[in-house]
Structure 1
Amino acid sequence: MTNRCVFHVALLLCFSTTALSRSYRLLRLQQNRSSMACQKLLTHLNGRPESCIRDRMDFEVPEEIKLPQQLQKEDAAFIIYEMLHNVLEIFTRDLSNTGWDEAIIRSLFVQVHQQMDRLRTTLAGQLEEVNLTWGNVMTTLQLKSYYWRIIRYLKDKEYSSCAWTVVCVEILRNFSFINRLTDFFQK
């Protein structure tokens, strides 16, 4: 009887691991597709960045984002979620000086929200109860500081058209980092 119970538990663990693995593979495909759509939308917004070259700024992307070490799938998902959340927060600022097409902004919001929803669904509560390690805490703090610098820059430049162009280029870079982090879902 005990062997039968152990067999059932082992079988259940095997199926749940397989299902979670497939879920991450599907998430990776969906995230990559959605990130590419966001990059395309941002490219449409960005007009002529070369005209704002004097306003360029190094916002100092955290090294953990540029060159991530070996991450767990959950850690990568958590970092991506935080990045997407902050991108949305930036684009809720004063866009009046940009002259951007509102339909493109709405499409960008929809894509980012869909990515966040997929992450939430796949992790099923792990985002709220993430196993915070010192590395996760430091990465989260560095991310918040990075996005704070972007928001501070926009405020200092009074949300000018060139400031938004510079920020748009930076957010475009963010999606390439997100794509790199999404690759951890296949491991």
Structure 2
Amino acid sequence: MTNRCTLQLTVLLCLTGAALSVNYGKLRFQQRSSNSACQDLLWQLITSPQHCLDDRMDFQIPKQVEQPQQFQKEEAMVVIYEMLQQIHGIFRRNVSNAGWNETIVENLLEELDEQMDRLETALEEIKQEGKFPWESRTVLRLKTYYLGIFQYLKAKFYSRCAWTAVQVEILRNFFFLNGLIGELQD
């Protein structure tokens, strides 16, 4: 009787662990799809960057983000989440000076929200499994990087050309996000 209860408990624990584990393949597919949709929306917003050449800026994204293969998948998820959260914050700012179609901006924000929601769910499961990477220097560097973008926009009074420079930089971010998403292997 005791052996039977132990066996049932063991099977239950194994099934619970399997139910909690993140399906990285599905997450990777969903994130790539949504990331592609965000890029398409950003391209729809681009006007004429040629007249804004004087406003170009090298915001210097952290080197770790440029080389995503150094991350464990759990840390990659944290970095992806932080980038999406910061990009979302940028596009919630004063975009009226950019002269963009507000529907496209809202669609972009919705796509970013969906990506962050999926990541929050997965990160919560990782926390429950005890695999969460609590400290990340990369996240701190990202916060500094995005603060520089916010300060640039503010210093340029959220001008159309400043938004164009930021938009080009965010398109670069999505390129790096694709690399990070590729690290979400099962």
Q: TM-score range by the shorter chain?
A: 0.7 to 0.9
Letter in 2 for 1:34: S
Q: 2:183 matched to which residue of 1?
A: 184
Aligned pairs (5 A) from 1:127-138: 130-133=132-135, 136=136, 138=137
Aligned pairs (5 A) from 1:27-176: 27-124=27-124, 126=126, 130-133=132-135, 136=136, 138-176=137-175
Letter in 1 for 2:116: M
Q: 2:21 matched to which residue of 1?
A: 20
- Where 2:183 maps in the other structure, the secondary structure is helix
- How far, CA to CA, are the matches of 1:121 and 1:40 in structure 2? 25
- Over the matched positions of the two proteins, sequence identity in percent amounts to 44
Q: Which moved more, 1:121-130 or 1:80-89?
A: 121-130
Note if contact 2:153-2:162 (Cα within 8 Å) is conserved in structure 1. yes
**Residue correspondences, number:** 183
**Which consecutive unaligned segments of at least 5 residues does structure 1 have?**
none
- Where 1:159 maps in the other structure, the secondary structure is coil
Please give the TM-score of this superposition, normalised by the length of structure 1.
0.87
CA shift, 1:172, in A, is: 0.9
- How far, CA to CA, are the matches of 1:65 and 1:37 in structure 2? 21
Once the two structures are superposed, residues 63-114 of structure 1 have per-residue CA deviations (whole angstroms, 9 ceiling, x without a partner) of 1101124322211111111001101111111112111000000100100000
CA shift, 1:49, in A, is: 1.7
Question: Using a 3 Å threshold, how does the CA distance of structure 1 residues 96 and 2 change in structure 2: closer, same or farther?
Answer: same
Note if contact 2:68-2:76 (Cα within 8 Å) is conserved in structure 1. no
Note if contact 1:52-1:162 (Cα within 8 Å) is conserved in structure 2. yes
**Which consecutive unaligned segments of at least 5 residues does structure 2 have?**
none
